[in-house]
Structure 1
Amino acid sequence: MLRTRLLPIALAASVVVPTLATTGAAQAAVKNPQADAAMRKGIRDVARLEGNGAKAANIRIACVAVPKVNDKKPCSGSFDLVKDGKTAHYVLTKKARTFRISARAIEYRVSAKATKKVQGLPAATDLAGFLQ
């Protein structure tokens, strides 16, 4: 009898406790994200996801600020991806941009083409994501 009452309570506690713990982490988000920071995060995501664990290096970008919600502005510049001691150089295309979707979130689009290609790294990339 005691076991049948404790099991549902234990299951409920295992669901509620992680939920309460993650709400504190969600409040630790970026309060005022910037366009350059969003694009840098996007480049690191490209390295991790499309570069199969490559490292981003020599990130030289310039993004126009997006101060208001629904602002969409371009970014320009270049970056390198390094994997197994080999380096591929990428230049952002005119599709690269940032878009402020709310006061505390910016969407990035990393669209780049390799000028120096390396086997195992993509020749071009087009990845979108969020910084919030």
Structure 2
Amino acid sequence: MTRSNVLPLALLAVAVAATPAATAGAAIKNPQADAAMRKGIRDVARLTPGGATASKIKVTCPPVKKVNQQRTCSGTFRLTKDGRSADYTLTSRNHVLRISQGAIEYRVSAKAAKKVKGLPATTDLAGFLQ
């Protein structure tokens, strides 16, 4: 190999070797149910067509300590878009589920108190925090 080919390969090898160490530290060691539901609410806001902002998040979730333990949360939050706001209440279909020691699945199912133009009347999004 020529010298011009060796340098890019060496730099690539260093970049690939450093990547797993950087991503391994980003994992949450012991995620909590409240944090998972708050993340889910922020994801709902982000995925709303045109984007929205989540605020006034007041959620209470019982702890899910054991793997496969599922609990229902209660609470409210507000989504704001283009100066219009809608208040949402979590429905009975929401839950948090510990899928492993380091990951919690969430399902944000909520209904708006009244319809607001540009914001959804109901939400139903599942995801996970790890």
Q: TM-score range by the shorter chain?
A: 0.7 to 0.9
Q: Which residue pairs with 1:60 in the alignment? A: 58
Whole-angstrom CA distance in 1 between matches of 2:14 and 2:118:
43
1:2 correspondence with 2:2: yes
SS in 2 for 1:116: coil
Query: Percent identity among equivalent residues?
Result: 58
SS in 2 for 1:109: strand
Whole-angstrom CA distance in 2 between matches of 1:105 and 1:65:
13
Residues 51 and 81 of structure 1 are in contact (CA less than 8 Å); yes or no, is this contact kept in structure 2?
no
1:30 correspondence with 2:28: yes
Q: Which runs of 4+ in 1 moved over 4 A?
A: none
Whole-angstrom CA distance in 1 between matches of 2:103 and 2:93:
20
Name the amino acid aligned to 1:6.
N
Residues 89 and 117 of structure 1 are in contact (CA less than 8 Å); yes or no, is this contact kept in structure 2?
no
The count of corresponding residues between Structure 1 and Structure 2 is: 130
Whole-angstrom CA distance in 1 between matches of 2:16 and 2:52:
32
Name the amino acid aligned to 2:34.
D
Q: Which residue pairs with 1:115 in the alignment? A: 113
Q: Which residue pairs with 1:72 in the alignment? A: 70
Shift of 1:69: 0.6
Q: Deviations over 1:69-103 (max 9, x none)?
A: 11000011111001111101111110110000111
Shift of 1:21: 2.3
Q: Which residue pairs with 2:44 in the alignment? A: 46
Structure 2, gaps ≥5 residues long: none
1:103 to 101, 104, 113: 101
Whole-angstrom CA distance in 2 between matches of 1:62 and 1:74:
9
2:92 to 88, 94, 104: 94
Scaled by the length of structure 2, the TM-score of the pair is: 0.87
The 1:82/1:19 distance shift into structure 2, 3 A limit, reads: farther
Structure 1, gaps ≥5 residues long: none
RMSD of aligned Cα (Å) = 2.1
